[in-house]
Amino acid sequence: MKTAYYDAAFLCKLIFPEAGSEKVVIHANQMHHLFCSMHGRAEFVATCHRKMREGSATKLQVEEAMQQIHQDTKFGFMKWLPLTEKHLARVEVAFRHAPKDLFLRASDALHLAVAAEHGLKEIFSNDRHLLNAASLFGLKGKNLLA
């Protein structure tokens, strides 16, 4: 069974036509399931709102995006992984062992910890900071847009 972990940026590329969307859609269509953390779900919703606020999406497009993600979840294609104390502990360990010049945001560290703790080997994103830190969590970062 083919699966992939997408961060919120890649999830948005599935719904909103933007640079790189076509490649992400082609990849996602080859998967049986997509995974993201529960906090990624909040990031997705926040990004939808930002797109509306900035004028790159209408309220109707945002509502349709939300309906699509709910349908994908309902039918089991989209799987939201929980965030637990174990994941936070993994983030703490990673930051303690991270090189001092590594730029890693807390939200990216949460994505990486959740993916790693759930046994995934790869994470898909175009976020260079997340991708650069993937190995710190034992993951291979993959950018479909590079």
Query: Could you tell me the CA-to-CA distances from 100 to 77, 90, 95, 116, 128 in Å, in that order?
Result: 38, 18, 9, 22, 17
**pLDDT band per the 50, 70, 90 thresholds, residue 108:** very high
Query: Could you tell me the CA-to-CA distances from 136 to 80, 131, 142 in Å, in that order?
Result: 22, 10, 14
Give the 3-state secondary structure of residue 137. Answer: helix
pTM value is 0.93
Comparing C-alpha atoms, which of 102, 142, 98, 99 is closest to residue 120?
A: 142
Residue 33, token pair as written in the block: 């399931």
pLDDT in tens, 44-76: 999 999 999 999 999 999 999 999 999 999 999
The pLDDT of residue 4 is 98
Q: Find the angle CA(98)-CA(100)-CA(102) to the nearest 5 degrees.
A: 65
Give mean pLDDT, residues 120-127. Answer: 96
Q: 113 pLDDT exceeds 90? A: yes
Task: Show the DSSP H helices in the chain as ranges.
Answer: 8-15, 21-28, 38-54, 59-74, 85-97, 106-117, 128-133
The pLDDT of residue 146 is 86
The pLDDT of residue 143 is 97
CATH fold of 3-142 reads: Rossmann fold (3.40.50)
The pLDDT of residue 100 is 93
Phi/psi for 121 (5° steps) reads -105, -20
The pLDDT of residue 81 is 97
Give mean pLDDT, residues 27-52. Answer: 96
Q: Taking a C-beta distance cutoff of 8 angstroms, is the pair 78, 69 a contact?
A: yes
pLDDT in tens, 83-96: 999 999 999 999 99
For residue 81, give the amino acid letter. L
pLDDT in tens, 3-26: 999 999 999 999 998 888 999 999
